[in-house]
Structure 1
Amino acid sequence: MSYIEHLRSTTALSVVSAIMMSGAATSVAAQDTDTEADLEEVVVTGSRIPRKDLVANSPVNVITGEEFRLGSFTEVEALLNTLPQVVSSNGASTNNPGNGQANVDLRNLGTQRTLVLVNGRRFVGAATNGVVDLNNIPAALIERVEVVTGGASAVYGSDAMAGVVNFITRRDFEGLATNTQYGITQEGDGERISADITMGVNTGDGRGNITLNANYLKRDQVLAGARDHSAVQFNELAGGAGLAPGGSTTIPQGRFNSNALPSIGGLDSFGNPIGSNGFLVTDDGQARAVVRPQDEYNFAPVNNLLLPLERYTFSGMGSYQITDGIRFFGEVTFANNTIERELAATPFSETGFQVDLRNPFITDAVRAVFAQIDQDGDNIVTTGVRRRTLEAGGRVSRDSRNLFRVVGGFDGELENGMAWELFYNYGRNENSQRQDGNIVISKFQQGLLVDPNNPTQCLDPSGGCVVLNPFGQGNLTQEMVDFIVTGATNLTQVEQQQVGGNIAGNIFELPAGEVGIALGAEYRKETAAFTPDTFLASGDIDGFNAGQPTAGSFDVKEIYAESIIPILSGVEGAEYLGLELGVRFSDYSTAGGVTSYKLGGEWRPFDELKFRGLYQRAVRAPNILELFQGQTNAFPGAQDLCNATANRSQAEADFCVNSLGVPASAIATFQQENAQIETLNGGNPDLFEETSDTWSVGFVYQPSQVPGLSFTADLYSIKVDNAIALFGGGLSPTINACRSDLSLNNEFCQVLTARRSDGQLEEVPLFRQNIAQRTAKGVDFRVDYGFDTDNYGDFSWFLAGSYLIEATTRSSPFVNAVNCDGTVGVRGTCGRANPEWRFVSRLTHTMDNLTTSLLYRYVGGVTDERINLAEANGDPIPTLFIPEIGAEHYVDLTFSYKLGENFTLYTTVNNLFDNDPPLIGRGAAGQFNTDAGTYDVLGRRFTFGVRTRF
């Protein structure tokens, strides 16, 4: 629908451009009644019906291109994350978890539930989950961004459960504009270089226009070791006693554990009993049973704190007015993103390995410990091997992503004023991912078995096998590393096709005004495939988890209708009263037929005040990843109900032996080998649609006594049912659901039969189900004020905020809902920091050629989610060293100066007061001791740039 790409009036455009980030695109009528008659109808995201009033009934935030310029933003997600309605997702500083993409998450309901549009049309996703990578949208080309928060499926279709982010790009540009900038942190790293050029020319006596844009961005790597707060990974001490340097128990020295050793009372080299954690090899070749905190591997410093990125984008837009009522339009976009993710060396961790005690690299002390379980004297023992392969270097994943998108169509206006459009939208995204640092499991095993007649040679010499020495830190030679390490290449292809047509306008007039209507139909097909390296797909790899291939497609046919119906107008107590209705029917090749709808309206008792409300039923059909994902390995933390603990009942022990496959000889002392248990995740073609109920009520107030002042506030509520999640809500809830009914008729017990012959859980199948529930409820508010003075320049100010009343997540019907309002979890149930209060404010002053702008961002305090989890389950509240995190205050300062008509110099200081990120307990966070997506982890940064316009 091309009319959403632009405002059809120069006057209307100037109004929107004056709004920095409007809580609702400010009503022209309330500001200047003399200009209302001059306005033509416009379209604001949230409805397809053009109208003369820029205030939508859905809460709409508008970010103009000026806001990008004032903040010197080169990455789109950096600005979106300042919005109070946005909870940070993956981006420039999320290395693990993260994949180099930049995503947006409205209301903390998940990136897959936020629909991203460009000029009102869908944008092709970057992976099989269909989520859009914002790195493909250059900030320089953006005219404005309209953000609808709340379900919008009736208007835009699936995925719009949390809301819509609509990027509207420049068009009808004439002339030449450039923007070049350089940025660097106070520490002298994290350099950014960005350059873009935009050219436009009118053709055919003003009937046509061609606009071209090219952008280059290069962002340098920063490692976590470059900052004091992230150079050491802290572990949380038991009982909230404090934090201590630590890291991973998969250590460079090598750790070896076998159930046989504790069961026979095995002793280490110092006469200490060996427990289920096994023993490590000391620097002098001894076997020590106790793994001390100082033995743990500090993985933090070699992870990325800022992911390096190199990006090229090229965009073109054109239009030509063929006749007075028909216009052709087109868009072309190409983007190449190269991004690198770096993790610590592979934490090799495998069970059931055979070790030959004749290996010449095993010290006598270690051999003596292993010999305790060599009951048959064949010099072969079975053990688990956990070793950080530092000698092989870090795990590096390099992604090269190429995106191509083309849009073409016709639009125009009928003689009766109805606007129409027909369009075709095609997008393709290809990603080639190169991985280095993976360890081949079978080769590691091959190198542990030696030829009895020549122990310096492998029992199986095929493939150039060399005998391995993992017994102690630094003992793997380059020859050994070359044998066990492999690279890999994964390919992802995503394709989207969309054909649509619509017609909108006023169809007839009632006493209270004209009835507006929009009718349309769309067809869309989504295809995606992930093809992992053959070696990775075999499962014979430790390092990066690839899993099995994923491939699938679906198509959907949709029809929709909207209407705005005036009821009263120009009477006492009702300057305007009207209804807004909408319905969409979608027929998915996978989920079948689904219906979404909306019902709302507005009431203006007088010109200055508007009340608005809207109820929406939204739907989201499962994406290709959720439907067709090949099996992939995961390693969640959980405790097997068969573990010999003090609270394990006799009934549970009997069930483990008789039904779950734990050997009777081991049940008395049975312990799982690792705190993390391997599971198999994957798609489910039987999934059906998620549904949500969203309502919002609010007001817009613009007092005529104070021109330029406006207030908005909206109360919203979103409830998502049948949300797609892992089977049982995950491994721990599945185990709890089995414990409540110890029977193989219980489907949650059936999956726990996935065990090895020694009883250890392995590859527990947890495939997705429509099983979860999410809610979000709160208040959005905003104040805008701007005024001009004769002697002191022009001032503009806004304050946009959000108060979170409720945010719950329930991973399955078999667990209690957890209140995530005001919590931080990162890798747990609640996700990233989601404080009760957030707001952002900007004050800008312009006098003559100098503009000064100050941006203030407030992130409210949060509580460690483990406290909320305990409350939900009725468990004792844990004693934590850092149970709560205080509020954070960020300030950015920008100066710009115009040198004549064509040149502008500017500089921005981000994080002016050099705030360090807050420390979060290890159990709650997981990356760099903080929430790297929410809090600033780089410190003070400087940007210098120049803009030209000819």
Structure 2
Amino acid sequence: MTLHDFPRNLLAAALAVAFPLASNAQTAPATEQAPESGQKIEAVVVTGSRVIINGDNSPTPVTAVRAQDLLSLQPSTIADALNTLPVFSSPRNQTSNPSGGAGGVSGGGNPAANQLNLRNLGAVRTLVLFDGHRVAPTTANGTVDVDMIPQMLLQRVDVVTGGASAVYGSDAISGVVNFITDKGFNGIKTNIQTGISDKGDGRQSQFGVAYGTRLGDKAHIEGSYEFRDDKGILYRSSRPATARTTVQGAGTAALPYFVESDTRLATTTFGGYIRNSVLAGQQFAANGVLGTFDAGSRTGFNPTVPTQSGGDGAYQDASLKSPLRSHQLFGRLDYDFTDTTRGYIEVAGNLKRNEFYANWPVLNGVTLSRDNAFLASAYRGQLTAANQATFSLGKIIQTAARLNPVIDEHQVFLNAGIEGEIGTGYKWDVGYVHSSSSMKVTNNNNINQLRLAAALDAVTGPDGTTVCRTTLTNPGSFPGCVPMNVFGPASESAEAISYILSNTHFNARTVQDDVSGSISGAPFSTWAGPVTVAASGNWRRQAYRANSDASSANASNCGALGLRYNCVSSTTEWLQPYENRSRVAQTVKEGALEFDAPLLKDAPLAKSLNLNGAVRYTDYDTSGRYVTWKIGADWHISDEVRLRSTRSRDIRAPTLDDLFAPATTISGSNSTDSLLGIQSIAPNTTTSNPDLKAEKGDTTTIGIVYSSRRIRGLSLALDAFDINVSDAITQVQGTNFSYQAACYASGGTSPLCATQVRALGNYTSAPGNVVTQWYSFPINFAKVHTWGADIEANYATAIQGHALTLRGLVTWQPHIKYMTPGLPTLDMGGVAYGATGLQASPAWRATAFIRYSPAKDLDVDLMARWRSTLGLSADPTQVTTGRVASFYTTNLNIDYRIKRDVGTISLYLNVQNLFDKIPPGANFSGTQQNVGNFGGFAMGDDPVGRYFAAGVRLKF
């Protein structure tokens, strides 16, 4: 194979179309895979079904990409590399605002995990496979952290962009991502890489080694190890353009939403701001002395939300990119028992650590006594003269350590099976997969709210020293209590900070066992060729459990503890709680039939026409029984033009977390009560719903593929898609503005009113009718509808004998509509942020690849990514001004190969975000007060800036 032939084979693989591959499916070669330089060409099986023997004859679109091509241009994780493709949108990864997800850790998630999100319908609707087998969730919330996939022997990734539940089962509503290993690798290869941003941070280092060899005539063994250490970027202020960017305003005609860059909290400072009493409006400077407060600008701001632009207000400074450290291990053994019977076993393991830094401790309107021992006597006198016993203070304790969740994930994937042939053309397989994921969360610097309440009540003891009041009144309640001085920047002693901060722990484990088998063949033929059928069965069991040392149980009795301030019956001991979860499990039994029937062959306007389909019966012991199906047609009009189309019914079953997660309460939610127009500090409880049923997805795809015979190397593909999801599982949140509005408009009859409890038991705006409890829980409540098209263009040629390839991928997705009864329809198409975690959904996303080889052993690659402009809100009832500008980045990679008799040495230099583009500011309107701790840019944009990586690959 020549370098000139390389692009053509790559493009053939990329345009290969396949029916989704079921577990342990046996397929025939469909196309050749472009080899690494010097590697022997081997036939490749493109992801397909048991009944389609040629990937070019299948109706479901698949984009097949060579792993090394992606990693060359985005040399970090395979998830980062895949997310450069426009079919993916708004990924959860190391830079996707991880610090804003501290609450997600409480529920057993990993906000810094690398997840894949096809069509921006959520990672839970994207099924992840490893060598054709389902991977168990790596987090309690049912998602897969793709960092568990070993990369050194990863050959390619097949992305199925269509519903696939009839072949794979649940979760494949938006599509499937299948990671495929190189099962025939022989030799040794290594990769050593280092990188750093041009700001001097974000250091990375990688090392990997792989080995494969034949063991006699019957066996082949291979294995790999990879180490990755990414130091992350620990402060958002290192990129000041977006560090404190928020959306302000009220979403009304009088006060529309707008983007503001230098946002600060208007009633909180680093020294302490007095919110009420005769001392109100002043802040503490050094040595506990009160001074004036610069209120900055409030023009256009929501008067009920205490934020400002500029001035003396405080803000958070969380991490921008989460540190990551991992060890990946992989091994595989293949053995030919006979000429027709083969066995295999493969094991993958991943030991990974994510961590991130969230907020400094916040005193959000704490109540302090005028007799506080640290308060200057002059201020005590003013309070006494005004007959005011207490005052309220807002402060961020900047000298304390930030909340620092550290998430250790340990994943194991074991896949073993036997496959063979019976008679003429019949194939069978049986297999077993065991996968487990353990997640240990250490929440460093978690605030013990009861200790904080005790430390804030500082009084003068009988001996003249300053002590906690509980030491005198309830000496057994808080032994070792250290009084805290909060009057001024850096006023707190190290001992007092240490007293209120502790490390808490949460451990979760998910285990999945999967047994499957199938048989396929062609029992008869029609006038157009053999009819292939397949039968398969599957049994799967998944279990989950968790334990914690930081419960969200309420304080039993504040008075009995001796706490007179900053403690009520709903106050939880820990600011970031976790809950124990006794073992829960679900069992799934499935049976499926597939067929592929040729209808025409070598007829006028039909070189071939095939009809194929599948049907699957699924029985969940937790959420019911379902039938999924798929029907498709593949029509080759000529050697150059083919049409394809599918229609499918798919499902996503509720996860164990959706069904059985224990209630977790976070006190002091600091949310806006839009009925009274005030800030609410009522506790917020997140719980599960055991009555959930599966979501149902109906997907239609229609496409045309053109492979030119006249212009060598030119191919084009256009595929339209339409996806409807009914009974969508939606997390309803009482603190959400839209849900509140629907409740109040109904007078209390809407089911959304179950997300809040009020003091007077009704929904009138009477004084004192405050929210006493917020709730958040999942229900089958919504519908989701999206449509659009994928476009792919490829061209391979040569300029004076030097290979040149061009590849363009475009996704147009103008609408993603979320329809909830009683609420306005939310259309996330072309919007930056939305409620309940909905993220950026550019209407247009495009990626272009250029490879030019100016010399025999030199390749220069360019990748350009672009997205269209974004709106600020998906809610049609909200008024906004301005839009989030479009954004693009360019990556450059230069690879030079030195060939020797013993092997090849490749030296490469990579520059990501070559022109150091800064993403335009964006945020979610519901986080107006979460300054510096969330958002600042649209998810999917690159906040790091120009980044350099260099390395060497050796292959022998």
Q: Say yes or no: does 1:939 pair with 2:945.
A: yes
1:889 to partner: Cα distance: 4.1
Provide the residue aligned with 1:813 in structure 2: 821
507, 513, 516: which one pairs with 1:497?
513
1:331 to partner: Cα distance: 0.6
Provide the residue aligned with 2:730 in structure 1: 725
8 Å CA contact 1:687, 1:769 repeated in 2: yes
1:887 to partner: Cα distance: 3.8
Q: For 1:739, what is the secondary structure of its paired residue?
A: helix
Deviation readout 1:329-365 (Å, 9 max, x if unpaired): 01111111122211231224377x5x44322112345
Per mean C-alpha deviation after superposition, the further-off stretch among 494-503 and 915-924 is 915-924
Provide the residue aligned with 1:930 in structure 2: 936
Q: Say yes or no: does 1:831 pair with 2:847.
A: no
Q: For 2:411, what is the secondary structure of its paired residue?
A: strand
Q: For 2:740, what is the secondary structure of its paired residue?
A: helix
Q: Say yes or no: does 1:640 pair with 2:654.
A: no
Q: Matched residues in 2 for 1:842 and 1:529: separation?
A: 45
Q: Say yes or no: does 1:285 pair with 2:297.
A: no
Per mean C-alpha deviation after superposition, the further-off stretch among 606-615 and 456-465 is 456-465
1:80 to partner: Cα distance: 1.1
1:894 to partner: Cα distance: 2.8
Provide the residue aligned with 1:408 in structure 2: 416
Provide the residue aligned with 2:690 in structure 1: 685
Q: How does 1:480-879 map to 2 (within 5 A)?
A: 480-534=496-550, 540-541=572-573, 543-546=575-578, 549=581, 551-633=583-665, 639-640=672-673, 642-643=675-676, 672-674=678-680, 678-727=683-732, 731-743=736-748, 747-749=751-753, 751-755=755-759, 759-787=769-797, 791-810=800-819, 812-825=820-833, 828=835, 831-846=838-853, 848-866=855-873, 868-869=874-875, 872-873=876-877, 875=878, 877-878=879-880
Deviation readout 1:163-220 (Å, 9 max, x if unpaired): 1000001112111111112222222322221111111111132x21001111111112
8 Å CA contact 1:801, 1:840 repeated in 2: yes
Distance 1:750 1:221, change over 3 A: closer
8 Å CA contact 1:754, 1:762 repeated in 2: yes
Q: Matched residues in 2 for 1:541 and 1:48: separation?
A: 55
Q: Matched residues in 1 for 2:29 and 2:8: separation?
A: 13
Q: Matched residues in 2 for 1:155 and 1:15: separation?
A: 31
Q: Matched residues in 2 for 1:373 and 1:753: separation?
A: 35
8 Å CA contact 2:687, 2:777 repeated in 1: yes
Q: For 2:214, what is the secondary structure of its paired residue?
A: strand
Deviation readout 1:638-691 (Å, 9 max, x if unpaired): 643541xxxxxxxxxxxxxxxxxxxxxxxxxxx6344x7642111111111101
Distance 1:78 1:537, change over 3 A: farther
1:753 to partner: Cα distance: 2.7
Distance 1:700 1:550, change over 3 A: farther
Distance 1:766 1:370, change over 3 A: farther
Amino acid in the other structure paired with 1:252: F
Q: Matched residues in 1 for 2:665 and 2:15: separation?
A: 43
78, 81, 98: which one pairs with 1:79?
81
Q: Say yes or no: does 1:229 pair with 2:267.
A: no
In structure 2, list runs of 5 or more residues that go unmatched.
Answer: 20-27, 33-40, 102-110, 250-254, 297-307, 472-477, 555-570, 762-767
Q: Say yes or no: does 1:397 pair with 2:405.
A: yes
Distance 1:623 1:256, change over 3 A: farther
Amino acid in the other structure paired with 1:113: R
Per mean C-alpha deviation after superposition, the further-off stretch among 51-60 and 543-552 is 543-552
Provide the residue aligned with 2:426 in structure 1: 418
8 Å CA contact 1:702, 1:711 repeated in 2: yes
Provide the aligned C-alpha RMSD in A: 3.2
Q: Matched residues in 1 for 2:43 and 2:863: separation?
A: 35
1:253 to partner: Cα distance: 2.9
Q: For 1:112, what is the secondary structure of its paired residue?
A: helix
Provide the residue aligned with 1:118 in structure 2: 130
1:505 to partner: Cα distance: 3.2
State, as a whole percentage, how many aligned pairs show the same letter. Answer: 25
206, 210, 216: which one pairs with 2:227?
216
Q: Matched residues in 2 for 1:568 and 1:391: separation?
A: 76
1:793 to partner: Cα distance: 2.2
Provide the residue aligned with 2:558 in structure 1: none
Provide the residue aligned with 1:458 in structure 2: 468
What TM-score do the two structures reach when normalised by structure 1? Answer: 0.85
150, 154, 166: which one pairs with 1:154?
166
Q: Matched residues in 2 for 1:532 and 1:737: separation?
A: 36
8 Å CA contact 2:360, 2:400 repeated in 1: yes
Provide the residue aligned with 2:54 in structure 1: 52
Q: Matched residues in 2 for 1:16 and 1:78: separation?
A: 25
Deviation readout 1:381-435 (Å, 9 max, x if unpaired): 4x66643232322111212211112111101122221221111111111122212
Q: Matched residues in 2 for 1:781 and 1:241: separation?
A: 34
Amino acid in the other structure paired with 2:685: L
Provide the residue aligned with 1:892 in structure 2: 892
Q: Matched residues in 1 for 2:448 and 2:850: separation?
A: 57
8 Å CA contact 1:280, 1:291 repeated in 2: no
Provide the residue aligned with 1:313 in structure 2: 328
Q: Matched residues in 1 for 2:126 and 2:289: separation?
A: 55
Deviation readout 1:756-793 (Å, 9 max, x if unpaired): 9964323322321111222221010111222457x522
Q: Say yes or no: does 1:252 pair with 2:270.
A: yes
Per mean C-alpha deviation after superposition, the further-off stretch among 937-946 and 418-427 is 937-946
Provide the residue aligned with 1:36 in structure 2: none
Amino acid in the other structure paired with 2:806: W
Q: For 1:295, what is the secondary structure of its paired residue?
A: coil
1:852 to partner: Cα distance: 2.5
What TM-score do the two structures reach when normalised by structure 2? Answer: 0.84
1:856 to partner: Cα distance: 3.0
Q: Matched residues in 1 for 2:735 and 2:675: separation?
A: 18
8 Å CA contact 1:399, 1:433 repeated in 2: yes
Q: How does 1:6-155 map to 2 (within 5 A)?
A: 18-19=10-11, 22-25=14-17, 44-45=46-47, 47-71=49-73, 73-94=75-96, 95-98=98-101, 99-155=111-167
1:732 to partner: Cα distance: 2.7
Provide the residue aligned with 2:559 in structure 1: none
8 Å CA contact 2:599, 2:611 repeated in 1: yes
Q: Matched residues in 2 for 1:86 and 1:398: separation?
A: 27
1:587 to partner: Cα distance: 0.3
In structure 1, list runs of 5 or more residues that go unmatched.
Answer: 1-12, 33-38, 262-266, 644-670
Q: Matched residues in 2 for 1:855 and 1:25: separation?
A: 26
8 Å CA contact 2:631, 2:646 repeated in 1: yes
8 Å CA contact 1:91, 1:100 repeated in 2: yes
1:17 to partner: Cα distance: 5.8
Distance 1:239 1:112, change over 3 A: closer
Distance 1:367 1:755, change over 3 A: farther
Q: Matched residues in 2 for 1:21 and 1:50: separation?
A: 16
Q: Matched residues in 1 for 2:338 and 2:891: separation?
A: 51
Provide the residue aligned with 1:659 in structure 2: none
Q: Matched residues in 2 for 1:281 and 1:268: separation?
A: 14
